[in-house]
């Protein structure tokens, strides 16, 4: 078993992404989940999971209980250690410094040496308290660090790219969406409304070959410029085209992911927007059996009309007046 340190404050969304890198993911308390198994290389690419650790023990969110659990646990490793404790969302009131000192002493007594800079092993201690699905949870998870995600999203801020347009999606969110769509090595991902290429960029960085389509020439030029600058010789193609009539043969993509035009920002009339999104969903279904669609409103009816199954729909608040609706679809 493994424990997962979730990022952000929307655990269901984080767990959905984590399920692309772990099996049997279950939220056990705010900000923490367990999993039966993990793919370490995929954990490193997750946006909304900080780390995965091999589970040692589960106790109440209490330092005394955590200390007793570690004393009783079987430890099948040797060498230097560091103990890192977190009070998830600062809800339990546990002193992380005290927890690190006391649990570190337990391990020193068992023959480990302490190395805070470059340890052979790192023990993660996660305290969490709060409600999950209306049920009170109070837990401490202890685990040996197995994999951490690479937090390099600040290096790809949309405003720092060669081509930028207002409203571009943050790299952290784009990474989560392409992960949920199934991006990775030996996959082909298509974005039929690629804009500045942010989703394509993140899919390419995790190993997918990508195809971007956009109806505006300036977007295709700008998207191509961004991908050339940031992923170099990665396998990508950007073409000018119509999302409702994609220049792609049937069943030739593993996933489709796109950020649909937002009604209040788009010059497209309301009925035309519905036709555009509905047509794009139908084309996505023609070429792939998995999709993730982001919009400023639910498009579940249109998705079902296009013969998609709506597995999840998450509502993610961006700011006071904008909520993104994330539709996770399967064929």
Per-residue pLDDT tens over the stretch 188-208: 999 999 999 999 999 999 999
CA 31 to chain centre: 14
Q: What is the mean pLDDT of residues 247-253?
A: 97
DSSP E strand boundaries for the chain: 2-6, 22-23, 26-29, 32-35, 37-38, 49-59, 80-87, 113-114, 121-132, 135-148, 188-191, 209-214, 236-240, 255-259, 290-295, 309-319, 322-330
Residue 267 pLDDT class (50, 70, 90 cuts): low
Per-residue pLDDT tens over the stretch 85-138: 999 999 999 999 999 999 999 999 999 999 999 999 999 999 999 999 899 999
On the question of a common fold for 2-148 and 153-330, the answer reads no
Residue 232 pLDDT class (50, 70, 90 cuts): confident
Tokens of 250: 């049937």
Question: So what's the pLDDT on residue 41?
Answer: 96
Q: What is the mean pLDDT of residues 284-312?
A: 97
Question: So what's the pLDDT on residue 269?
Answer: 57
Q: In the structure, how many helices (H) and strands (E) does the chain have?
A: 9, 17
Question: So what's the pLDDT on residue 266?
Answer: 54
CATH of segment(s) 153-330: 3.40.50.150
The third-level CATH classification (topology) of the domain covering 2-148 is VC0802-like (3.30.2130)
Among 32-46, 68-82, 142-156, 261-275, the least confident range: 261-275
Contacts of 103 (CB under 8 A, 6+ apart): 66, 67, 70, 83, 85, 123, 125, 142
Per-residue pLDDT for 54 more than 70? yes
Question: So what's the pLDDT on residue 319?
Answer: 79
Tokens of 142: 């202890």
Per-residue pLDDT tens over the stretch 6-49: 999 999 999 999 999 999 999 999 999 999 999 999 999 999 99
Range 111-114 contact pairs with CB under 8 angstroms and sequence separation of 24 or more: 111/78, 112/78, 112/79, 112/80, 112/81, 113/79, 113/80, 113/81, 114/80, 114/81, 114/82
Q: Which of 198, 203, 230 is nearest to 214 (CA)?
A: 198
Per-residue pLDDT tens over the stretch 57-94: 999 999 999 999 999 999 889 999 999 999 999 999 99
Mean pLDDT for the chain overall: 95
Tokens of 240: 């000018």
Q: What is the mean pLDDT of residues 307-316?
A: 97
Write down the H helix ranges in 171-291.
171-181, 198-205, 217-231, 270-287
Tokens of 287: 């070429």
Residue whose entry in the numeric block shows the structure tokens 């009131």: 93
Domain ranges in the chain are 2-148, 153-330
Among 63-72, 172-181, 241-250, 318-327, the least confident range: 318-327
CB 200 within 8 A of CB 223: yes
pTM, 2 dp: 0.94
23 vs 321, residue with greater confidence: 23
Helix, strand, or coil here: 255?
strand
Question: So what's the pLDDT on residue 96?
Answer: 97
Per-residue pLDDT for 250 more than 90? yes
């Amino acid at each position: 078993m493994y424990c997962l340190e979730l990022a952000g404050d929307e655990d269901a969304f984080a767990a959905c992404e984590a399920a692309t890198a772990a099996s049997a993911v279950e939220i056990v308390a705010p900000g923490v989940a367990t999993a039966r198994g993990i793919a370490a290389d995929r954990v490193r690419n997750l946006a909304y999971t900080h780390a995965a650790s091999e589970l040692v023990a589960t106790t109440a969110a209490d330092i005394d209980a955590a200390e007793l659990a570690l004393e009783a646990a079987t430890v099948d490793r040797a060498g230097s250690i560091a103990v890192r404790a977190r009070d998830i969302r600062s809800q339990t009131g546990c002193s992380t410094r005290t927890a690190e000192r006391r649990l570190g002493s337990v391990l020193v007594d068992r023959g480990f040496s302490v190395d805070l800079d470059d340890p052979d092993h790192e023990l993660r201690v996660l305290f969490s308290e709060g409600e999950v699905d209306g049920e009170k949870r109070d837990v401490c998870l202890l685990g040996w660090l197995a994999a951490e995600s690479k937090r390099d999203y600040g290096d790809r801020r949309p405003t720092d790219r060669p081509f930028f347009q207002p409203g571009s999606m943050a790299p952290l969110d784009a990474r989560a969406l392409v992960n949920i769509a199934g991006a990775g090595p030996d996959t082909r991902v298509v974005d039929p409304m690629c804009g500045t290429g942010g989703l394509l960029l993140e899919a390419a960085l995790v190993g997918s070959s990508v195809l971007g389509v956009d109806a505006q020439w300036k977007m295709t030029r700008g998207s191509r410029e961004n991908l050339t600058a940031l992923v170099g010789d990665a396998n990508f193609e950007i073409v000018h085209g119509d999302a409702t009539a994609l220049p792609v043969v049937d069943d030739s993509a593993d996933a489709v992911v796109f950020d649909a035009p937002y009604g209040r920002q788009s010059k497209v009339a309301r009925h035309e927007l519905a036709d555009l999104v509905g047509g794009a969903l139908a084309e996505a279904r023609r070429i792939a059996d998995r999709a993730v669609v982001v919009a400023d409103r639910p498009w579940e009816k249109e998705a079902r009309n296009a013969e998609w199954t709506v597995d999840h729909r998450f509502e993610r608040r961006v700011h006071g007046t904008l909520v993104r609706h994330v539709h996770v679809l399967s064929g």
